[in-house]
């Protein structure tokens, strides 16, 4: 009976109920999007950094990987030192440089990574083979589109420009052996990967044996912090950054987005509460006489309270259900816009749906809808029956 009466009351003012449901839906969509934004970036970066299973990233002392042009000298010696630790499974050196390709009377610039193909973690091969010899390269889709090249083509690659001589220090003819997705680079960035010694030589660094970064994979259950301290003690010219620390550093840089998400999420909860409270209060005030009659014929006060709370609950549930669909659609649209920002790695998602966080937030909105109906329901059910009937009759 309570459900029937609550439904009839909502249907009586159908337009007002529909507007209230739509208002709650917008609040629910905003709340869901803010929850996805506040947790999505952190989890997206965590997934990105952990994607290839590397637990430590080693950069020149006091820098983050590729934040500056600083490099690590004597890379081979440091790599041998790293492999001495019993908990180190693999060491992947990475050297970065800019290269140029002469194509159709034009020069096309690209980013090149020198890697060890046996242990590299910078790209995922999509087609072909991964650097079978020193005369091969792996290219991104953006690079292939810009150059008009295909797998098997030979390109003249130049690096290490000397501004005084106005010439390239390193030139080499390389064959495109594979097509790859570069994990840590934007999708639109033209990129290639070569064997590490090849790029070092082309960039004018023979004999210096330098790299920009080491990525280190540890054994299962290894203590990353202990290995970090061991590395920095043995090689004081480098900084070892565990994945957990890297995530914290990224989190600190993105704190503005998280704070904005918290503020807008709180606003959406308040707006949802006010919408439901306003509708229920107006509805109750219009039905004071009806409620007094029900009390006069023996309907209990608890019954009245439960019926009115059910009305608020119905509005909240309907609005939350619509808001869930609206929020997911809006998040997908916004994520598509933000993903086009320059410099972002391809796999980064600003809005990431995580069931536990999403259902918790939407559940809070439903509970707020229930709470919104408690006060007006109890107040109306507590009015003196005789005086209320007399005032309604006179009115």
**Which tens digit of pLDDT belongs to each residue from 104-128?**
667 788 889 999 998 988 898 999 9
Six-digit token pair at 260? 């904005």
Q: Do the domain assignments include residue 241? A: no
**How many folded domains does the chain comprise?**
2
363 and 275 in one domain?
Answer: yes
Assess if residue 276 is contained within a domain.
yes
Pairing of strands 167-182, 154-162: antiparallel
**Is there a domain that residue 14 lies in?**
yes
Residue 229 lies inside a defined structural domain of this protein: no
Q: Which pLDDT value is given to residue 177?
A: 93
Residue 247 lies in a domain: no
- Per-residue model confidence (pLDDT) at position 246: 76
The reply to whether 197 and 302 lie within a common domain is no
Give the residue with greater pLDDT, 78 vs 45: 78
Same domain, yes or no: 358 and 314: yes
Q: What is the mean pLDDT of residues 170-192?
A: 87
- Is residue 29 very low, low, confident or very high in pLDDT (cuts 50, 70, 90)? confident
* Range of lowest pLDDT (9-13, 37-41, 247-251, 373-377): 9-13
Higher pLDDT, 165 or 299: 299
Same domain, yes or no: 270 and 295: yes
| Residue 231 counted as domain residue | no
Note whether 69 and 152 are same-domain residues: yes
* Domain shared by 98 and 18, yes or no: no
The whole-angstrom separation of Cα 206 and Cα 198 is 9
Could you tell me if residue 143 is inside a domain? yes
Note whether 372 and 299 are same-domain residues.
yes
- Show which of 197, 221, 245 is a domain's final residue: 221
Here the contacts of 252-261 (C-beta below 8 Å, separation 24 or greater) are: 254/41, 254/42, 257/37, 257/38, 257/41, 257/350, 258/37, 258/38, 258/41, 258/42, 260/37, 261/34, 261/35, 261/37, 261/38
Give the residue from 176, 200, 221 where a domain finishes: 221
User: Do 190 and 299 sit in the same domain of this protein?
Assistant: no
Residues 146 and 260 in one domain: no
Are residues 173 and 64 part of one domain?
yes
More confident of the two residues 296 and 98: 98
Residues 261 and 331 in one domain: yes
Is residue 168 in a domain? yes
**Of the residues 168, 197, 221, the one at which a domain ends:** 221
Average predicted confidence (pLDDT) for the chain: 79
Same domain, 30 and 142: no
Which residues span the domain enclosing 84?
56-221
pTM of the entire predicted model: 0.68
pLDDT tens profile 141-170: 999 998 888 998 998 888 866 666 666 667
């Amino acid at each position: 009976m309570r459900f029937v009466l609550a439904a009839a009351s909502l249907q009586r003012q159908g337009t007002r109920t529909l507007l209230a449901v739509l208002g709650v839906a917008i609040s629910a969509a905003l709340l869901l999007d803010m929850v996805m934004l506040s947790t999505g970036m952190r989890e997206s970066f965590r997934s990105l950094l952990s994607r290839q299973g590397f637990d430590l990233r080693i950069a020149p002392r006091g820098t983050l990987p590729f934040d500056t042009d600083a490099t690590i000298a004597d890379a081979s010696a440091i790599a041998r030192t790293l492999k001495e630790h019993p908990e180190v499974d693999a060491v992947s050196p990475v050297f970065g440089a800019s290269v140029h390709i002469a194509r159709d009377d034009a020069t096309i610039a690209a980013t090149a990574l020198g890697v060890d193909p046996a242990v590299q973690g910078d790209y995922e091969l999509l087609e072909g083979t991964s650097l079978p010899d020193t005369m091969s390269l792996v290219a991104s889709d953006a690079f292939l589109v810009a150059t008009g090249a295909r797998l098997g083509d030979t390109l003249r690659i130049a690096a290490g420009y000397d501004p005084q001589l106005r010439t390239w220090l390193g030139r080499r003819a390389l064959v495109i052996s594979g097509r790859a997705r570069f994990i840590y680079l934007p999708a639109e960035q033209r990129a290639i990967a070569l064997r590490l010694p090849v790029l070092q030589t082309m960039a004018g660094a023979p004999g210096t044996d330098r790299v920009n970064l080491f990525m280190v994979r540890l054994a299962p259950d290894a203590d990353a912090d202990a290995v970090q301290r061991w590395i920095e003690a043995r090689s004081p010219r480098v900084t070892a950054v565990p994945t957990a620390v890297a995530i914290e550093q990224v989190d600190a840089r993105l704190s503005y987005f998280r704070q904005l998400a918290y503020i807008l999420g709180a606003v959406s909860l308040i707006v949802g509460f006010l919408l439901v409270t306003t509708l229920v209060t107006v509805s109750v005030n219009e039905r004071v006489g009806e409620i007094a009659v029900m009390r006069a014929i023996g309907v209990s006060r608890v019954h009245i309270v439960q019926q009115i709370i059910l009305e608020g609950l119905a509005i909240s549930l309907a609005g939350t259900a619509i808001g869930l669909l609206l929020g997911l659609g809006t998040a997908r649209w916004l994520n598509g816009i933000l993903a086009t920002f320059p410099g972002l790695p391809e796999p980064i998602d600003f809005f990431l749906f995580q069931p536990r966080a999403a259902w918790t937030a939407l559940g809070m909105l439903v509970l707020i809808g229930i709470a919104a109906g408690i006060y007006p329901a109890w107040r109306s059910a507590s009015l003196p029956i005789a005086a209320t009937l007399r005032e309604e009759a006179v009115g």
